[in-house]
Amino acid sequence: MRRTSAALMAVVLTTGALATAAVTADAAPTRITACPTGWGSLDESRATATTVPVRDVRTGRHACFDRMTVDVPGAKAGRLGYRVRYVDRLHQDGSGRTIAVGGGAVLEVRVAAPGYRPETGAATYPGRAGRPLPGVDLTGYRTFRDARFAGSFEGETQIGLGVRTRLPFRVQVLDGRVVVDVAHSWGAAH
Q: Domains of the chain: which residue ranges?
A: 1-30, 44-183
Q: How confident is the model at residue 155 (pLDDT cuts 50, 70, 90)?
A: very high
State the chain's mean pLDDT as an integer.
Answer: 86
Residue 94 pLDDT: 83
Q: How large is the average pLDDT for residues 58-85?
A: 96
The better pLDDT of the pair 8, 144 is held by 144
Taking Cα atoms as reference points, which of 70, 61, 50, 167 lies closest to residue 118? 50
pLDDT in tens, 115-141: 999 999 999 999 999 999 999 999 999
Its pTM stands at 0.81
Which CATH number among 1.10.10.10, 3.40.630.10, 2.60.40.3500, 3.30.70.1150 corresponds to the domain 44-183? 2.60.40.3500
Give the C-alpha separation, 186 to 37, whole Å. Answer: 8
The better pLDDT of the pair 144, 13 is held by 144
CA 34 to chain CA centroid, nearest Å = 18
Amino acid in the structure at residue 42: L
Taking Cα atoms as reference points, which of 8, 174, 168, 173 lies closest to residue 86? 168
Neighbouring CB atoms inside 10 A of 120's CB total 8
Q: How confident is the model at residue 25 (pLDDT cuts 50, 70, 90)?
A: very low
Evaluate the CA torsion angle 77, 75, 184, 29 in order and state its sign. Answer: negative
Q: How confident is the model at residue 17 (pLDDT cuts 50, 70, 90)?
A: very low
